[in-house]
Amino acid sequence: MIKPDDLATLHIHRLIFHDVPKRIRGLEAAPVLSEVEATLDEDRIAHLKRRLVRVLGSKSAYDIQFRPETQSPVPELIRDYTKGKQRPDEFVPLSQKFAQFLFEQQTGSSSSGVLSIMDTTVSGKRGLVVLKLEREEGAQLELSTKKGKRTFEMSVLDNLVLTEGTRLFKAALFVRTGPGGDDFSSGACDSQRPFGSTDELAQFWLRFLGCKLIEEPRVATKKFFEAALLYVNDAIADPVEKTKVYDHVMSEMSSEKKTFAPRTFIEEYVPKAHREPFENFLKEQQVSLKQFPLDTSEIVGRLRRRSYHTAKGAEVRVPEEEAEIVKVAENSIVIADTVTRVDHK
Amino acid sequence: MSRSDLEQARVSWLADEPSFREFGQLVKSGLEGEIKRLGIKAEVSMRTKDIDSLIKKLILKPEHTYESLGDKVGIRAVVRYQREVDEIVASMPSVCGCSEPDDTRQRLADEKDEKVGYISVHLDTWLKDGHSLLAQFPKTKYRAEVQVRTLAQHLWSEISHDTSYKSGTKIRKDLKRRIHLLAGLIEVADNEFSRIDDEMSKMPDMAEFMILKALERQYYKLSARPGNTDLSLEVIRLLWPLYEQTPEQISNRFGQLLNEKRAVLQDVFDQMSKTSKGRSAFFFQPEILLIYDQLQSYPYKLRERWTERFPPQELEMVATAFGHSFA
């Protein structure tokens, strides 16, 4: 799991760009590969890092792990490169393999882009950043020559990433945390398409990386739902606020949205006085604050409500899966349950 | 000292000066590191004697040879308060080998007529036994004089240096009395600054100052770059109520924060010092630690409160430096 302290201590030691066009049937195309890494420029690095933090630390970022079985060579390249000491000589060929694989994958409606690989450390631990910047068709990138070898210098960023308006941004950070093949802390984000979308393009980035979400969406959804209801019941005393937040939880969980971001929910629906305590409660309950695809398959029964409205204005709502606790007779309604709270509105 | 001795001294110093400069930098770095560890705001400077001063000193002090002349390298730390002088002097043995401190304040107090005048603490220093560069800078040859003094003491020293108050010259009695009065005034001012600082940092009705003092104590462990006090007080005034704690409780948080997060904070400070374009104007300010703490503890309240007074993009820059995204 990528944490703010990880992003704060991210250092970029090497960086390279490759221009990776889209493969179009019948047309000759090939990636333009840099042969040497770019010269680092402190101010541009600082700016680039700020953009990476904004994306990888955003509400839309998600924690990932390598897929055990994948067609992508990316996991193996990352495992191998980050093992042991830094091997600067292998950086350029490694990055070219990423670019070549991206080119092979970039067909159909995938966009052309500039792929950047960064050799990094996070609190001294080795890591790699993989970044794809999309650019307009026809936009030219200027190749430079360094010691007789071609390269894209950091100035290419000026038009692609350093302008505030750049939105088309796919990023991933892999930090080695131990010697094992899966000892990584990894996160990703696709600012162009939320990964929860069902279409092919939305899955493109994860497939390219050979990764999957660290937590099954159905588990993440259930954990948030249960923790949120627990908090609403135990920590919100005001009955009006309690009802409102409860309704928002039910409504968001039942919505047609593809993804759910807990931090967005907090900002939009949780009363100000409860934002920090609620977020802390979610953390205590091991609920990830990162975005996840909404999958209500494990809570669907609890989301459905059955409502009973009486002649004198009483209203009883019960979870559909608990409907048998209500016994309705001609002049009475009996609920076989224990009263835990009475709110006076 | 003969003319040929002076000529030889000149030749020797021209040859030796670069290595003494290197040695001086070494001691200065050690001293700066220690001052940072103590969390003290200080101006530290180093100089090697220029060739003219060296020759003049040999002429004025004929009892010395080129080899025996001390003070070829001088390192000076100027701090705000006397207690900080005492703290630095007390921790000098952890930085380098050093003589007993020559404390002129103590010397003046010991004299029969309790004179006033130039006050400073001087120590003769050298590399400690076991230092990896001891062979390159043996302690028999490479010595540096370290002076530690307050700003007020520095003022007296600088002005008296230029006007020969402290030379052995016979001065008319009435002038001498005025000079003594002036020196006394500076010493009183120095003591008063220390007392006021001490009292201000304990007054509950001056919460902002108390919190600022607590922040400074930790901030100067991370950076020697001074902040803008007016801005600090405004930020503290705006944000400290979010804690809903007493100023004493808040002040205690920052020591704990630094203990837990020192490595991360130092890393970010080092990164920010390399880029002037990529950092917020609020970064090199003592209250940055308060902002960092609140980014973790009260991220929502902080953003809301901040925008009442300061540009949101500045907070966003601070947040991203510490790995937090508002996106």
Q: Give the separation between CA B163 and CA B187, rounded to whole angstroms.
A: 19
* Nearest chain B alpha carbon to A60: B327
CB-based contact A60 B327, cutoff 8 Å: yes
- A47–B277 CB contact, under 8 Å: yes
A271 contacts A241 by C-beta, under 8 angstroms: yes
Tell me the residues of A at the B interface, defined by beta carbons under 8 Å apart: 3-11, 42-43, 45-47, 49-50, 53-61, 123, 266-267, 272, 275-276, 279
> Quick check: A58 and B274 CB within 8 A?
no
**Cα gap A123→B173, rounded to integer Å:** 66
Residue range B187-236, pLDDT digits in tens: 888 889 888 888 877 776 788 988 999 999 999 999 999 999 999 999 99
Q: For residue A186, give the amino acid letter.
A: S
Interface mutation target, options A10, A48, A52, A53, chain B, most CBs of B under 10 Å: A53
Tokens describing residue A339? 């009263």
Contact state of A6 with B323 under an 8 Å Cβ cutoff: yes
Query: For residue A164, what pLDDT is reported?
Result: 54
Query: What number of H helices and E strands is found in chain A?
Result: 11, 16
Higher pLDDT, A12 or A1: A12
Which pLDDT does position B285 carry in this prediction? 97
**Residue A122: CB atoms within 10 Å:** 25
Whether residue A5 and residue B264 make contact (CB cut-off 8 A), yes or no, is: yes
- 3-class DSSP state for residue A127? strand
Token pair belonging to B151: 């700003």
Give chain A positions within 8 Å (CB) of B321: 8, 50
Q: Are A129 and A7 in contact (CB under 8 A)?
A: no
Nearest of A82, A305, A262 to residue A174 by alpha carbon: A82
Tell me which chain B residue has its CA closest to the CA of residue A59: B327
With b for 16 or more beta-carbon neighbours within 10 A and e for fewer, the A245-284 pattern comes to: beebbbebbeeeeebbbbbebbbebbeeebbbebbebbee
Relative to beta strand A169-176, strand A184-190 is antiparallel
Collect all residues of chain B within an 8 Å Cβ-Cβ radius of residue A55.
325, 327
Give the residues of chain B that fall short of pLDDT 70. 1, 107-118, 161-169, 204
- Please tell me the distance from the alpha carbon of residue B22 to that of residue B127, in angstroms, as a whole number: 12
CA gap A247, A230 in Å, rounded:
14
Beta-carbon separation of B267 and A3 below 8 A:
no
Tally of CB atoms within 10 A around A131: 24
Q: Report CB contact under 8 Å: B274, A46.
A: yes
Contacts of B299 in chain A (CB under 8 A): 276, 279
Yes or no, beta carbons of A123 and B323 under 8 Å apart: no
A64 pLDDT exceeds 70? yes
Answer whether B128's CB lies under 8 Å from B94's CB: no
CB A4 to CB B322 under 8 A? yes
User: For B266, which residue in chain A has the nearest alpha carbon?
Assistant: A9
What are phi and psi for residue B92, nearest 5 degrees?
-55, -40
Query: Could you read off the pLDDT of A268-315 as tens digits, one per residue?
Result: 999 999 999 999 999 999 998 888 888 998 898 888 888 889 988 888
Please say if the pLDDT value at position A140 is more than 90.
no
C-alpha–C-alpha distance, residues B213 and B215, integer Å: 5
Smallest Cα distance from A282 to chain B, Å: 14
> Which residue has tokens 């503290």?
B236
In this structure, how many other beta carbons lie within 10 angstroms of the beta carbon of residue A4? Answer: 18
Contacts of A46 in chain B (CB under 8 A): 271, 274-275, 277-279
**pLDDT tens digit string along A222-249?**
999 999 999 998 999 998 899 899 999 9
Q: Do A275 and B301 touch (CB under 8 A)?
A: yes
ipTM of this predicted complex? 0.81
Question: Which of A264, A269, A276 is most worth mutating to test chain B (most B CB atoms within 10 A of its CB)?
Answer: A276
Looking at residue B223, what is its pLDDT?
94
Beta-strand pair B121-126/B144-150: antiparallel
Q: What's phi and psi for A113, nearest 5 deg?
A: -170, 175
What Cα–Cα distance (Å) separates residue A308 from each residue in A316, A317, A330, B195, B287?
Answer: 5, 6, 13, 73, 56
Residue A159 pLDDT class (50, 70, 90 cuts): low
What is the pLDDT, as a whole number, of residue A41?
Answer: 85
Beta strands in chain A (DSSP E): 10-20, 32-33, 62-66, 113-122, 125-134, 144-146, 149-151, 169-176, 184-190, 211-213, 259-260, 292-293, 305-309, 315-319, 326-328, 333-335
Contacts of A99 (CB under 8 A, 6+ apart): A18, A20, A31, A33, A115
Residue A24, pLDDT above cutoff 80: no
CA distance A222 to A287: 10
A276, B301: Cβ pair inside 8 Å?
Answer: yes
Residues from chain A that touch B276, judged by Cβ atoms under 8 A, are: 43
pLDDT at A195 > cutoff 60: no
Q: Which one of A8, A45, A53 has the shortest CB-CB distance to B267?
A: A8
- Residues in chain B within 8 Å Cβ distance of A45: 275
Say if residue B148 is exposed, middle or buried (CB neighbours under 10 Å; 0-12, 13-18, 19+).
buried
At residue B172, the pLDDT reads 78
Of B275, B299, B325, the CB nearest to A46: B275
Inter-chain contact B298–A46, Cβ cutoff 8 Å?
no
B136: Cβ contacts below 8 Å, ≥ 6 apart: B19
Q: Do A4 and B263 touch (CB under 8 A)?
A: no
CA-nearest residue to B275 within chain A is A43
CB contact under 8 A, B279 and A46: yes
